[in-house]
Structure 1
Amino acid sequence: MIGSLVFNSSSFAKRVFRCSSLEAVAPLFATIISRLYSNVEKVNEDVKSNTTIVNEIDTEVGTLFKRIVELETRLENQEQYSRRTSLRFHNIRVPIDPRTGKIPHPINTDIYILQVCNSKLGLNLTVNDIGRSHVIGKVKNGKSQVIVRFLSYRTRSKVYTNKKALKGDADGIFITENLTQYRTGLTQKLSDLKYNHKIFAYWTSDGRIFAKTTEKGTKKLIKNYDDITALETTTDDDNQQQEPDLSPGTTNQNSDENHNNGTY
């Protein structure tokens, strides 16, 4: 900037060459330096002002981000709560059209659900206990997943509590809670940890997810992936002695605590 002011000014050059001593040039340089100093001070003030504005914006963005996280959490909790009367029945045998290899529609899945609940779980349900049921997902080896919405939470709780009767079922039928996509991802991650001996057990209850790192350890509520990361970093010699998970489809791993306690 000094070079621009000094050497690009023909009038300044002429005045310098007219001076016969350093004393004559000094006041001119002092004037230039004073002006430059004023400019620098102004720039510094602008920088400080802009820095303050940026900090205020960062604070506001941080506040808004926290608010978004809170709203997303409330929305996710509400979505899970809306599923409180639903369950998923896995490996249900369904009719297949031999020509297309697909399920013929319409199909009365209520019948298959009642057969499982009454014949295998020892319950006494009727079609009046079911609000709606339908196949979900792809068919594999003549079996599919059926999602069921019961008319009352009590009926749903009764079915889920008695699901232990399906252990060792010849068709491999098992029942899980109807979790949101986010919570399903959490249980899949926990399943991997269980298989790799990083945790002892995990299970779900009323849409909530719990896990233990050891058999006698304290159960931990899993709300997000940060909670799972905390489990992964837990070191315990007992974790290295667990058997591999032979039934990755079930959310009740080595635990009898998978039950409904009437709360959410």
Structure 2
Amino acid sequence: MRTDELEQYSRKNCIRINGIEEQNKEDVEKKSLDVLQIVCPNVVSSDIENCHRVGKPERGPRQIILRFNSYKSKRKIFSDMKQHKNLPENVYINEDLTKYGSYIYSLTRKAYKSKSISQCWTRDGKVFVRLNPVSEDELGKVKRILTPLDIPGYAPSEEEIIKYCGESMTPAPE
């Protein structure tokens, strides 16, 4: 887990943009900036340290990864996104999560879609959920998700239980 935390820390100034059409000899930074300025009009080219597409060209456009010069610039994007939710259709801006963080977040989104939780989000590479209240005491309760076992309503496989608990939870045969 510690290695994953260190890897996530190295990504703290990065975001990923999905869904921007890809063309030959494109100016990726300009395309990214055009999208970012929809939600955060004050973002400028000098805020971006590096920008490029990642992954293999397959079914759709490849993701764009952006590294900002400062953590503050990255956080401004996400705080402004709360007020401006008018991104083009099928364009998404997300934190740059590690492989493990992406896996955990995908499981929490499934739990959200199945109504096991009322909300899920990431902040600084950490995954959080807002629990469905069972009583008035739990109204709006937030929980950090560290492993699949922490996700309300998620039934982990035997392999996941062994991986995250160190032992099987299945009763031994009699």
Q: TM-score, normalised by structure 2?
A: 0.76
- Tell me which residue corresponds to 2:142: 219
Distance, in Å, in 1 between the alignment partners of 2:98 and 2:46 is 26
- Tell me which residue corresponds to 2:153: 232
The Cα shift of 1:74 comes to 1.4
Deviation per CA, 1:30-55, whole angstroms, max 9, x where unpaired?
A: xxxxxxxxxxxxxxxxxxxxxxxxxx
Say which of 108, 124, 136 aligns to 2:27: 108
Query: Contact 2:19 / 2:62 at 8 angstroms: preserved in 1?
Result: yes
> Which has the larger strand fraction?
2
Distance, in Å, in 1 between the alignment partners of 2:85 and 2:68 is 22
The Cα shift of 1:168 comes to 4.5
- Tell me which residue corresponds to 1:197: 115
1:77 matches 2:5: yes
Distance, in Å, in 1 between the alignment partners of 2:65 and 2:141 is 32
1:87 matches 2:5: no
**Aligned partner of residue 93 in structure 1, secondary structure:** coil
**Aligned partner of residue 211 in structure 1, secondary structure:** strand
Deviation per CA, 1:192-224, whole angstroms, max 9, x where unpaired?
A: 111112111111111111112216231001111
The Cα shift of 1:191 comes to 1.2
Q: Which runs of 5+ in 1 are unaligned?
A: 1-72, 96-103, 234-264
Deviation per CA, 1:106-128, whole angstroms, max 9, x where unpaired?
A: x421101111122x124223322
Cα–Cα, structure 1 residues 93 and 189, in superposed 2: closer, same or farther, change >3 Å?
same
- Tell me which residue corresponds to 1:181: 99
Query: Contact 1:86 / 1:177 at 8 angstroms: preserved in 2?
Result: yes
Say which of 68, 71, 85 aligns to 1:167: 85
The Cα shift of 1:166 comes to 5.2
Q: TM-score, normalised by structure 1?
A: 0.52
Distance, in Å, in 2 between the alignment partners of 1:160 and 1:195 is 22
**Which letter does structure 1 place at the counterpart of 2:153?**
E
Distance, in Å, in 2 between the alignment partners of 1:173 and 1:134 is 16
The correspondence of residues 110-189 of structure 1 with structure 2, limited to 5 A, is: 110-118=29-37, 120-137=38-55, 138=57, 140=59, 143-165=61-83, 167-189=85-107
**Which letter does structure 1 place at the counterpart of 2:16?**
R
Distance, in Å, in 1 between the alignment partners of 2:150 and 2:72 is 30
> Which has the larger helix fraction?
1
* Greater RCO (Cα-Cα under 8 Å, separation 6 or more): 2
**Which letter does structure 2 place at the counterpart of 1:198?**
S
Query: Contact 1:85 / 1:153 at 8 angstroms: preserved in 2?
Result: yes
**Which letter does structure 2 place at the counterpart of 1:219?**
V
- Tell me which residue corresponds to 2:163: none
The Cα shift of 1:177 comes to 0.5
RMSD: 2.2
Deviation per CA, 1:61-97, whole angstroms, max 9, x where unpaired?
A: xxxxxxxxxxxx21110100000000011211222xx
Distance, in Å, in 2 between the alignment partners of 1:168 and 1:128 is 24
Query: Contact 2:33 / 2:44 at 8 angstroms: preserved in 1?
Result: yes
Q: Percent identity?
A: 27
The Cα shift of 1:187 comes to 0.8
